[in-house]
Structure 1
Amino acid sequence: MHLDWPVVGRWQALRLFRKAAALAPDDPAPWYWKIKVGRYLGSADGEALMKSGIFGVFERHADYRDVWAFWEEIYHSPGVLLRAAAILERHAGHPIADLRRAQLLTEAGEYDAAGELAAALISGGRTDGGVWAIRAQAALESGDTAAGLVFYQQALRHAATDSLELLWRQVAPIAWPDEDSSYAHTAPADREEFFRAFWARREPDLLTAPNERVAEHFERLRHARRNFRLRHPQSRFHYSPERRALMSSQNRRVLEALLDFGIVAGIVPGRSRFADEIQAAGVGVDVRDVPEPDSITRYRRYGFDGRGLIYLRYGEPQRRLVDHQAEVEAWDYAVGGSLARLVFARASSDSGSDMVFYPTSRGELHNVAVMLERDATSVAANQDVFVWAAFFRGVLEGEQSVYVGVMADTSAAAVWDDEWIEVGRHVGLAPHVFTLARGPYTVGVDTRHNGKRGRLRATIEVPTLWRGTLALSSLLIGVPVDDSAFGRDEVARAMPGDGRLPRDTSLALYAEIYGLSIDRAGRSLYEVEYRFEPVGGGRAVTLSFDRSVLGGAVVPERILVQPGRIPAGRFRVHLTVRDKVRRRIAQSTYITVELR
């Protein structure tokens, strides 16, 4: 009853809980309720009570009620982590106590001890995903990348048995909104697939193995935990929009510091789920306008200040400016071709002296919102990648052969379905050929060319070419090796990724026609028209031919254009086929080429 009263009643409740603890020294319940008193009080005094209560519970029980949820609500200094680990050692042999102790040792930076404990648990028969996750984290954060990645693969294989959801806890601070909601509805049996898709989405270089982004994330996690921990998670700032509104009084000192930093006004491409709210924010943007997905701040949810949240997602900024006197920082990142600025400030002592996002314009607010819903590798790609995709019928009904072309010394391409499950990967010289069903996919291409690295991720929609009506494949164009004989693969190999072709050589064009009508003599009669439309306007060049061929399900269509027939310039090229037997028309999609 006293606990539900205002502050005075809660202090009375605390006295009663202390009395109960003295009367029942082995009972964790009074200590548990002491945690709740501290949580109700909030701020530094309340957190001190919570910490004392948590340690009291740990001394008596390693997994009492939801004590570990309260543990996530206090500041985890190395000393606090090690003290909790030492207390849990009294419960050695308890499955939760042992695993939690390994977790605490890892977060305290005691990697050898954590790894040895996790290894001992595995040797003793514990093979659940949580044990492997902690062993992997300890190895990766200590710099033993090779072993850590092996352990992490084991963790993924056993993800269904990760009862404490440690695998998710490791990556939740960088999850995208759709991943956040998807994981909440993922059954344990599907977790391995979820995490493999999670990392596939982030793989920075398809030419190398394993995925560098995994080790990079754990290195960032180690650095952020050491430098950007949220020190006062019980501050009312994290629970109360009204309290955050009071922090807007700090605008002047923030703006004065930014004047000294200079102006960076780049806008990050993309749209956040809060775009409409941001658009309505008006001119006077400040700390209170930072959107939060639910009733508590992201800082409090993940245990990092604003710098830590963004560091986990993007790593070191391109430039970091600090005004120690004003307690303001500006971090500049190159994102999507723009140099974007994020501003952090200690909004006031009431915010717990933690650095929080402090946007001063709608553009900065947009950047915060978008960047908190994405992440990026620090593995730089310093070369543009030019890629084309072409679609043909596959061997089996319903399948399409998808060609992915790129111009590079060597390249790798991968395709993922709409759930980021990999359906194919090829490494070597382009074009890369995949067999795919109709539907949406993401294509990734990584290149090495002239010693530089290129990267591209794009979505494609694979059409069906099995409709039973007249249909065309994509159109290919290139410089043939042999003018007298060329087919699909020969032209695909000759088609440049950037669409640039010499005008003083012969050009081969190739496509396939599906579903042509057949007359009584067993032949297909049709007209083809190749049309070169100048980009930007001008007179088009048209090449037309009448054809009569032996009928079939697939009819190859090809021509050889002699040098000089097409003038120099940039053109949009497409093919039109007119079936003369049933009076039907089909047209290919456009491709853009430049003759030089």
Structure 2
Amino acid sequence: MPVYARAESLLSAGRLKEARALLESALRAQRDDPRALTLLGRVHLAWPVIGRLKAWRLFEQAARLDPSTPEPRYWQAQVGLHLGGADGERMIRDALYHSWELDPAYRDTWDIWQQIYRNKGHIRRAVSILSRHAGNAKADLRRAHLLIELGENDAAEAILADLIAAGRDDASVWALRAQGALEAGDTAVGLAHYERALARSGDDPLRLLWKQVEPIASPEEDSVYAATPSSEREGFFQAFWARREPDLTTAPNERIVEHFTRLRRARHLYRLLHPQSIFHRSPERRTLVAVMAPRVLKAVREFSHPLAGPVPGRSRFEDEIQAAGLGVDVRDVPEPDSLTRYRRLGFDGRGLLYLRFGEPRHRLVDIGNVEVWEYVVHGQPVAITLARASIAARFGETGALSGGDVVIFPTSKVELHNSAVMLERDETSIEAELEVRAWVAAFRGERPGEHLVYMRATPDSGVAAAWDASWTELARDRGTGPHIFRLAAGEYHLGLDVRSGDRLGRLRGEYSVPSLWTSQLAVSSILAGVTADTAFGRDDIAAAMPGDLRLPAGSPLALYAEIYDLPANADGMATYEVRYAFEPVGRGRAVALSFVRQVRAAPSVAERIVVQPGDVPPGRYRIVVTVRDRIIGREVQSTLLNFELR
């Protein structure tokens, strides 16, 4: 076996001493062998504890002997990754510059570049080097990416347009075009480009579509994306934005535009300054942040801000801690992984919060590198403490904050919970100030298996939408309602947004469409309204049923439901007992009305009554309809309907 192959095999097997002896012997025979020098450098790089600087010198020697290959420079970047810190970053940056001069797409050098701090000067030098490879599609794509980081969107667009004209038509190109246009404020063009990117999401060599949204993804979305085949990626991203759409009454999804606007600002203000700091790589080092707690707590006590309660819900971080049987110290940073999310995503704690929730309502800052950001999350005031604390204080300075990146620094268990939850959610800054009340009802459709789902809201001018369980949009309807969707039995997400003047009301919820096609006795939802027609039908009452379910007590109350698959006797007749139970919500008395009906058996039988004023006193009620057939004795109940007589 040749020396190189043998050394590579020994290195892969972790037999470092043997590999070192073999390569040193080869270099004694030929001291200026760049390949042997590179392999020996890799052995020293893999050596426990020591050997990093020795490895760097060997790679430097190999690079000078053979300046035509980027491999030694690539391994110099690996030395910098092992060393970390500012010195390591400088090594990485210089090594990547040299490597790109030879090969602008060598191995994973672009991914390594994403892991280091880069200011405008660093980026401009990289752009200059990559411009020497103009016409190389990979180099041009990366150069356009860097120009967008600099805010030079016109220059980036020119490069990307040329790439497409030359036949490069994948999602990465279109995703960058979309980002450049959206960050420049050209919404229509940016969204059109983004749709083209999504249509090509199965071919995204730089994984840009995911990297653009990863900072706001939930842990569940992270897991689902990793398991989604490339052929289904478009559906994943469509669903990703569907669940975040803030205003159904407008044509574009403003959350997409909002996200890219936040992304540009976060990159400018909250980029991670020390991504190679050991803080971001070592859970043990992060525990040392606890020594700064007295200083942080002292600063927070000087702020005047309202007490915050817990945000509803629970984070995956807390579930993992609980499953492991661990306690949660109030000084812990909510970071369950060995590599911090700050490092993975390239933003400090402020950037992560800003990308997910936008500008805080209030921002309290002291001169000692401590901040408190205040938000309202799900109606709950929340205060999140941040501290510039990723670089530990010098020995003996137990109360000092000496610098580094701004990280989330919970000062109580409530704050730990809130920050953990907020790092797994995101919200639009488009406020929905208008209170929306609505009802949903389900009936059989005309075709087997089909269900008609009625929706109506107050105010009643708006847009309703239905998505399946994976957030694929199935239907959207605009108007005053009731909105009617044709759906199969199953789980759905429903949305209903309304406008009154320039105020927006937003409603989102899950709805389970019951199976009303079981060939067994079943009953629909209940409708309630005021109508002068005693022979009213389903659509008559649906049109008369207000979205807020507030009905006048002085008018006759019409109730409507449908009964399905009543059993028949030998004469084709069905006999059933129906009971309307009005249960008061709060104070009041219960009212029950019962009737025995005999009707011609049919797949669907309309059940209707008119309750006269005074039969049910004014008040708030839950009503349920119980149907019991008198032939085989089967009994079914409707879903509850909450309404108010006033």
Taking structure 2 as the reference length, the TM-score comes to 0.89
> What SS does the aligned partner of 1:543 have?
strand
Residues 1:544 and 2:594 are matched in the alignment: yes
1:164 aligns with 2:206: yes
Correspondence for 1:27:
69
Q: Name 1:304's counterpart in structure 2.
A: 347
2:128 pairs with 1:86:
yes
- Aligned to 2:239, what secondary structure does the other structure show? helix
Q: What amino acid sits opposite 1:297 in the alignment?
A: T
2:317 aligned with 1:291:
no
Task: Single out whichever of 295-304 and 527-536 deviates more from structure 2.
Answer: 527-536
Contact 1:282 1:362 in 2 (8 A): no
CA contact (8 A) 1:283 1:361 kept: no
Q: Measure the CA separation in 1 of the matches of 2:114 and 2:501.
A: 49
Q: What is the aligned counterpart of 1:360 among 386, 397, 411?
A: 411
> Does the aligned pair in 1 maintain the 2:333–2:408 contact within 8 Å?
no
Cα distance in 2 between the residues matched to 1:145 and 1:539: 57
Runs in 1 of length 4+ with deviation above 3 angstroms?
5-8, 276-284, 348-352
Match runs of 1:140-159 below 5 Å: 140-159=182-201
**AA at the equivalent of 2:471:** W
RMSD: 1.6
Taking the aligned partners of 2:450 and 2:273, their CA distance within structure 1 comes to: 56
Partner residue in 2 for 1:333:
375
- The match for 2:297 among 252, 255, 276 is 255
Cα drift, residue 435 of structure 1:
1.0
CA drift of 1:91 comes to 1.3
SS in 2 for 1:483: coil
Map 1:405-424 → 2, pairs under 5 A: 405-424=456-475
Q: CA deviation at 1:536?
A: 2.9
**Alignment correspondent of 2:106:** 64
Moved more, 220-229 or 30-39: 30-39
- In the other structure, the counterpart of 2:359 is 316
Does the aligned pair in 1 maintain the 2:96–2:113 contact within 8 Å?
A: yes
Spell out the pairing of 1:390-429 with structure 2 (5 A cutoff).
390-429=441-480
Structure 2 runs not aligned, ≥5 long: 1-42, 393-401
Aligned to 2:496: 445
Alignment match, 1:113: 155
Work out whether residues 465 and 477 of structure 2, in 8 Å CA contact, stay in contact via their aligned partners in 1: yes
Q: How does 1:199-278 map to 2 (within 5 A)?
A: 199-263=241-305, 264-276=307-319
- Measured in 2, the distance between the counterparts of 1:154 and 1:141 equals 17
Alignment partners' CA distance in 2, 1:132 and 1:106: 13
1:124 is displaced (CA, Å) by 2.1
User: Which stretch of structure 1 is more off in the superposition, 122-131 or 235-244?
Assistant: 122-131
- Cα 1:51–1:553 change in 2 (3 A) is same
Local SS of the residue matching 1:91? coil
CA distance in 1, matches of 2:156, 2:319: 46
- Does the Cα contact within 8 Å between 1:359 and 1:365 map onto a contact in 2? yes
Separation (CA, whole Å) in 2 of partners of 1:479 and 1:291:
56
Q: Post-superposition shift, 1:123?
A: 2.0
Q: Which residue of 2 aligns with 1:388?
A: 439
SS of structure 2 residue aligned to 1:349 = coil
User: Is 1:370 matched up with 2:421?
Assistant: yes
Give 1:527 deviation, angstroms. 1.8
Q: Provide TM-score, normalisation by structure 1.
A: 0.97
Does the CA contact (< 8 Å) of 1:281 and 1:362 recur in 2? Answer: no
d(CA) in 1 for partners of 2:333 and 2:262? 27
Give the secondary-structure state (helix, strand or coil) at the position aligned to 1:545. strand
Q: How many angstroms does 1:521 deviate by? A: 2.1
Task: Work out which of the two has the higher radius of gyration on C-alpha atoms and give 1 or 2.
Answer: 2
State the partner residue of 2:11: none
User: AA paired with 1:189?
Assistant: S
Q: 1:525 aligns with which of 575, 584, 588?
A: 575
C-alpha distance in 2, partners of 1:289/1:126?
43
| 2:460–2:481 contact (8 Å) kept in structure 1 | no
CA deviations 1:360-410 (Å, max 9, x no partner) are: 111111111111111111111002211211111111111211111212141
Does the CA contact (< 8 Å) of 1:478 and 1:495 recur in 2? yes
- Alpha-carbon separation, structure 2, partners of 1:277 and 1:554: 50
Q: Which moved more, 1:549-558 or 1:574-583?
A: 574-583
Return the alpha-carbon distance in structure 1 between the equivalents of residues 84 and 494 of structure 2: 49
Mean CA deviation greater in 227-236 or 3-12: 3-12
- Deviation, 1:278, is 6.1
Cα pair 2:279 2:390 within 8 Å, conserved: no
Encode CA deviations 1:556-585: one digit per residue, 9 max, x unaligned: 011111222211111111111121222222
- SS of the residue corresponding to residue 459 of structure 2 reads coil
For residues 508 and 281 of structure 1, what CA distance do their matches in structure 2 show?
A: 58
Moved more, 344-353 or 146-155: 344-353
How many aligned positions are there?
592
Partner of 1:576: 626
Alpha-carbon distance in structure 1 between the residues aligned to 2:453 and 2:460: 21
Residue ranges of structure 1 left out of the alignment (5+ in a row) = none
- Report deviation, 1:89: 1.1
Amino acid in the other structure paired with 1:549: V
